[in-house]
Amino acid sequence: MQYREIGKTGIQASVVGLGAWAIGGGGFWDGKDDDEEAARAIRFALEQGINLIDTAPGYGDGKSERLVCEVVSGFDRGKLVISTKCGIIWWGEEGGYMHTLDGKRYYRNLEPHSIRHEVEQSLKRLNVDYIDVLFTHWPSLESFPTPIEKTMRCLLELKEEGIIKAIGASNVNLDQIKEYMEIGQLDVTQPPYSMLNRDVEGDYLAYCMENNISLFAYSPLEQGLLTGKITMEYEPEAGTYRANHLKWYQKQNRKQVIEMLAGWSDIAQKYEATMAQLVIAWTVSQPGITHALCGARKQKHVEENLKGGSMAIAREDLARMRTDIERLKLS
């Protein structure tokens, strides 16, 4: 497993991190929750060299954090990099309305008092004395705007107090990143990034690289589509994230992706890798993409993801894959 520094913090995190969104369960996900299997997956990841776990209070209303706590308590805290988030609440109505899921209304609130309350609750759920990386989960909404300056000053105070070690912002655009940086050092961002979703390439990535801002790419396997295991016969369950939010799963797009992956069978064979491993390795080989958060609800998913963090792909193979990716005509 490769390890890379988060920003300029000195924190060394595995290039493949365990994304703990899915283990929180809820209406976004296919199938039934299996908490025991999820715990095994987390434990196996830590035993095999993945030291970065990314969770959030909003993943199952605290469930994801509680499951992470159950496992990490048996490991050396100093070797773990625990990343969580703030800014989404479900226990009150102070904030900008975001959505309703499983009958609950969720709001965005990045006011300092709300952030501090969330952090206190996360520390309790995780049973830790500090959080390695705290992300703002989403920007505030126009219906309940909080200036980034106000939010960032709170985060800097938490960092000075030793409650958090690094400051992150998730789902932000370049202008918002620059606003954070006007107040203090932003250590890491967390946008969606994959072969199919490369919106942050260009000015966004260039700015992050110039300013020592790491990038945790989430959904690098596009909810399983880029593992090569999804066929044309598969139909996502109605109402799930795959069905509602991922255009790549639409049949006209899925066909192109499946055919592209099939065309890389010789590359996968060359590196004795599965398609998922090849895709992860390609992802963390892209300039500016420092870490990839790979979701896993089962140990077998972690087993497959691991090699992607240690593979070195030849320049010509990386270039060939990018050429094929850029030829896609996804609608």
Q: Which amino acid is at 76?
A: D
Which amino acid makes up residue 189?
T
Residue 129 amino acid letter: D
Three-class secondary structure of residue 3 per DSSP: strand
Q: Cα separation of 25 and 189, whole Å?
A: 24
Instruction: Please indicate whether residue 59 is annotated as part of the active site.
Output: yes
Return d(Cα 77, Cα 130) in angstroms, integer: 10
Strand ranges (E), 109-223: 131-136, 164-170, 188-190, 214-218
**Tokens (6 digits) for 313:** 């792909």
Determine the Cα–Cα distance for residues 290 and 312; give it in Å rounded to an integer.
14
Distance CA 127, CA 82 (A): 11
- Whose CA is closest to 55, among 107, 127, 106? 127
CA distance 255 to 25: 28
- Contact between 93 and 51 (Cβ < 8 Å): no
Q: Which of 59, 180, 204, 241 is catalytic?
A: 59
Among all chains, which residue has been given the structure tokens 């998922």?
276
Give SS3 for 81.
strand
Query: Which is nearest to 48 in space by CA: 312, 318, 313, 294?
Result: 294
Distance CA 157, CA 143 (A): 26
CB-side exposure of 273: number of CA atoms within 13 Å? 25
Q: Which residues contact 175 (CB under 8 A, 6 or more apart)?
A: none
What residue type is assigned to position 108 of the chain?
R
Tell me the C-alpha distance between 75 and 127, whole Å.
Answer: 13
Catalytic residues: 59
